[in-house]
Amino acid sequence: MSKINELFDSELRVINVGLESFSKELKMQKKAVVHVEWKPVAGGNKKLADILNQLS
């Protein structure tokens, strides 16, 4: 059995990063999932991200 099929045969342990809707879908199917609230630096604002890069 290939590694990938082994994975799908085992109990999945999922960490979801970013879009929360993916974790909600899994929860609705009663699968254990840990959601990591991740956003790009400064919400993706390049000017602010550049400033932060020089200040921290």
Partner 1 sequence: MLKEKIEQANQEAIEKLLKAQPTLIGIGTAEKDIPGMDKKTILHAGPPVKWENMTGPLKGAIIGGLIYEGLAKNEEEAAALAESGEITFDACHHHSAVGPMAGVTTASMPVWIIENKAFGNKAYCTLNEGLGKVLRYGAYSEEVIERLNWMEKTLAPVLKEALELSGPIDLQTMIAQVVQMGDEGHNRNKAGTSLLIRELAPSIVQTSFDNQEKSDVLKFMHGNDHFFLNLTMPAFKSSLDPMEGIPYCTLVYTMARNGTDFGIRVAGLGNRWFNAPAEIIDGLFFPGYTMEDANPDIGDSVITETAGAGGFAMAAAIPIVQFVGGTPQDAMNFTKSMYEITQGESESFKVPVLDFKGTPTGIDIRKVVETGILPIINTGIAHKDAGVGQVGAGLVRPPMKCFEDALEAFAESVGIS
The binding site for partner 1 (CB under 8 A) comprises 39, 41-43, 45, 47-48, 51-52, 54-56
CB 45, min distance to partner 1, A = 8
CB 25, min distance to partner 1, A = 22
For partner 1, the closer of residues 12 and 41 by Cβ is 41
The DSSP call for residue 3 is H
* CA distance linking residue 20 with residue 25, whole number of Å: 9
For partner 1, the closer of residues 4 and 55 by Cβ is 55
38, 18 Cβ separation under 8 angstroms: yes
Task: Give me the residues paired with residue 15 across strands.
Answer: 34
